Amino acid sequence: MSMHFSLLFMILVLAFLMGCALSQAQGLNTSYQPSFQDDDKADFILNNSYIVLNAIQVTPDVSNGALIVNMSGRALYGKQFKLWSENKGITRASFNSTFVINISPQTVPGGEGLAFIIAADHNLPQNSEGQWLGIVNAETNGSGTANIVAVEFDTRKSYTEDLDDNHVGLDVNSINSIKQVSLTNFGLNLSAGNDTLVNVIYDGKNMTVFVSLRDKDGVVSRRNQAFSESIDLSAYLPQNVFVGFSASTSSVTQLNCVKSWVFQGSDIGDGSNKLLWVYITAPLVTILLMSIAFLLLWKLIYRKKQLVDSYDNVEEEIKGSSMAPLKFRLKELKRATGNFNPKNKLGKGGFGTVYRGTLNNKEVAVKRISKKSTQGKQEFIAEVKTIGNLNHKHLVKLIGWCYESREFLLVYELMPNSSLDKYIFSDKKIGVEGSMSATMKWETRVSVIYGVAQALDYLHNGCKNRVLHRDIKASNIMLDSEFNAKLGDFGLARTILKSDQTHHSTKEIAGTPGYMAPESILTGRATVETDVYAFGVLVMEVVCGRKPGNQILDSDYSSGIANWLWELYGYGRILDGVDPKLEEEYQVEEVECMLLLGLGCCHPNPHHRPSMKTVLQVLTGEAAPPNVPTKRPNFVWPAMPPSFNASDCSLAGGQLAPFSDMDGR
């Protein structure tokens, strides 16, 4: 931290000394001296734009407004800027563009606007006058072929989507802004004919653009930041781009002038961006340096505060739980795993990596959540709070947690035999606790299914507050040293808060494709019935030794394991679906019962799926398997329960357990 403040101090001192020197030489004032000269024309690509009167006139500067009706223009720096590279993954450049614009209406009202642009093509699009601001035209608007990102300074409300005739916006391949802010509240009027100082920063590491504006008498700082927006420019633009300005007029006209400009980009490894081009006067250098100092200072303070606030929030929420697990320090977990030594890696998934470790002479599994994972702070808190309040022999035990230095880590009991998917989807040998065949015997498979069913029944009916897991799948079923199944990964789990509502809705679809009930994909709702559906898919996987769907080339199976098995059942050949690795070492009646149970759990109508209590009764022989039709019913929504009537809404048990509402994602 001290190094950062030393740098800030040096910048501030430099800015101060330069300001003093300027004030002695010419008097420090805010009237910018001319920046652009005739000789600068060779450095620019000018399309219907000019360098005259010591400034860039992005559209012609003439006193007769009638001569600049329906005009568009572009002025781009002639050397391309390397925006990103693919050396060992995508590396994105950062840049800082500071410029002074002056927009003077020639009609009342004036129009249309000016823009700072980053574009693949230096050519001015045909018919890009009027509302198009020289950015796109009617053919390319909204198309990925436009390859352009712009910060627009719009002086006319040309679309119903426009906020007003005085706003700044961020445009991506379109004139319709993905982000826009009115400048009226900033005390700025783009059409007043005054100089406006603009700062556009792109943070390539965090993929965020910052746009700030100020009148000529001020210093650009976070206090006058118009907006910030997360955007990956590499997703919309090629590696090499042109930067500069565009503008347009229509039947209403204005003069679009850029009086000063400094652009500086970071080098991303190949030296392509070492050039810094500057068209700027000394007073603006002072302002720029001071702006950078303020921005750096704000970033340091804001990030530190953000980390502290975020950390306190995580700890506060977790400690509010009555059975909160232990909190570990990051250095403890680094020591336990050999600083996350690759040799200790147990597995890796979309969430991150799991490492074997030793804490207090006990082996553990440390789950280190990737910073690129979609599992963020809320999912982390949900997992800790949910599983921390649960206690069942068929649930993986959460020992502790750590959130430090922006690292999310979870500490679980070590499951020596890894996850279920490694045994039912592979013919290879697995080196877990010695070399052993991946083939799992029938008795063990039955035991695994029964263990998962017990865990789900506990979550739905046995714990204080009902819990939905929402991500039941083979890779989340862990096996201990005796091959007892334990359900893990509660990152998507939710605890019921209210029992008088019918469902839990999410903004994003949660779960794993292949295991998700059709109604959850359609509506985004999670219920106990959607958990039952995923359990049914799991049953079929374990018995058939096949993945849930869209994983293999068999055309009869590509639509999903449930469709495939239902079709076999309709032909009277359901036993053809049994995993051939079992070599018929099973009881036919038991296998048929298990497969019918799986199909029943995957019934398209959620009201026809058995509850987990009923599932356990089927598995113990206390109840017959579900009555499954030979042809899979069509999915219809909304689904009606059998003999539907108003009184059925209050059913409290059996196969038609009511849907329950849960806390938001």
List residues with catalytic annotation: 471
DSSP state, 178?
Answer: S
Separation CA 377–CA 491 (nearest Å):
10
Both tokens of 463, joined, read: 């714990």
Separation CA 471–CA 494 (nearest Å):
11
User: Cis link prior to 60 (omega < 30° from 0)?
Assistant: no
Q: Closest Cα to residue 504, out of 322, 274, 312, 660?
A: 660
Quick one: three-class SS letters along 414-454? CCCCCECHHHHCCCCEEECCCEEECCCCHHHHHHHHHHHHH
Cα 364 to Cα 360, 396, 430: the distances in Å are: 10, 11, 20
Cβ burial, residue 206 (10 Å; 0-12/13-18/19+): exposed
* Inter-residue contact 468 to 411 (CB < 8 Å): no
Separation CA 11–CA 279 (nearest Å):
21
Separation CA 493–CA 530 (nearest Å):
12
At residue 230, φ and ψ (nearest 5 deg) are -75, 130
* Inter-residue contact 141 to 135 (CB < 8 Å): no
Separation CA 471–CA 351 (nearest Å):
13
Helix axes 2-26, 282-319, angle to 10 degrees: 150
Q: 3-state DSSP call for residue 572?
A: coil
For the chain, state the CA radius of gyration.
Answer: 32
Q: What is the dihedral of CA 474, 548, 565, 450, to 10 degrees?
A: 10
Q: 3-state DSSP call for residue 465?
A: coil
Q: 3-state DSSP call for residue 86?
A: coil
DSSP string, 539-555: HHHHHHT--SSSSS--T
